[in-house]
Amino acid sequence: MTEQVIEVKNLVKKYGSLTAVDSISFSVSKGEIFGLLGPNGAGKSTTLEIVETLREKTSGEVTVCGYSLDKEAALIKKVIGVQLQSSGYYPGLNLVQLIELFAGLYNCSVDPIQILSMVNLQEKSKAKVKELSGGQRQRFSIATTLVNQPKVIFLDEPTTGLDPQARRSLWELIRTIQAQGTTIVLTTHYMDEAEYLCDRIAIMEKGKIIALDTPDSLIDQLLESGFERKKEMKAANLEDVFIHLTGHALTGDY
């Protein structure tokens, strides 16, 4: 049987009279990349933050790696990796010092250069976060989620604001982390990203999950309902043109 890393049952979150998360249920299997999609305000961040133990739920059941959110939140914290916004980093510290700080918080010892190499930032070890490009900052923020060798990491819009090459470099990094056996839950507004990366996606709207399946099955279901694209797609798009003209191999130097 597939091992479930995350199980969410009838999760509800109310902010006063607003029901931001309206009795949703889903599970995430070991090794999956699971995407939460939906328009702004759909309840994605609230759901993620509850599973990450950062926000109180109103009702429902959440289990992460077999630990109950109600009874074993401290154990959940130890097995997950959570991405911080880059504004959350101490500005005076360089990348190695920041990784050491995170390791200290998790009470584990790490080789900062090895962690930075995983995200191709070993040459920036003495740099401060403000000296990094947008793509490098995102890669660093992913590196910080890996410090405690988590079983599952949460990425909230990991490629928002990045140029196409930096996005693709991040996609490869996320795939590499998955290949090492880590389960990944991410939110995104980019449908191409969800289609490329996610094994399954849940689409949320107004606090409810309105679809949950593999990207392929969701597309097939739409086609079976008689949907047809108005215009034939070309075999390449403008993003391919951009990458072809400005980028070469995806070395990760963005």
**Smallest distance, Å, CB 17 to ligand ADP?**
10
Q: Which residues bind ligand ADP (CB under 6 A)?
A: 15, 18, 20, 38, 40-46
For ligand ADP, the closer of residues 42 and 153 by Cβ is 42
- As measured in angstroms, the least distance from the Cβ of 153 to ligand ADP is 18
Residue closer to ligand ADP, measured from CB, 157 or 195: 157
Nearest approach, Cβ of residue 45 and ligand ADP (Å):
3
Q: Round to whole Å and give the CA distance between 103 and 8.
A: 29
Token pair, residue 116, equals 């930075």
Q: Determine the 3-state secondary structure of 234 from DSSP.
A: coil
Rounded least distance, CB 222 to ligand ADP, Å:
22
Nearer to ligand ADP, 39 or 104 (CB): 39
Q: Which is nearer to ligand ADP, 40 or 225 (CB)?
A: 40
For residue 211, give the 3-state DSSP assignment. Answer: strand
Shortest separation between residue 148's beta carbon and ligand ADP, angstroms: 25
Nearest Cα to 83, choosing from 7, 18, 155, 35? 155
Q: How many CB atoms lie within 10 A of CB 65?
A: 20
DSSP string, 184-250: EEEE-S-HHHHHHH-SEEEEEETTEEEEEE-HHHHHHHHHHTT---SSPPPSS-HHHHHHHHH--S-
Bridge partners (DSSP) listed for residue 64: 6, 67
**Residue whose CB is less far from ligand ADP, 47 or 148:** 47
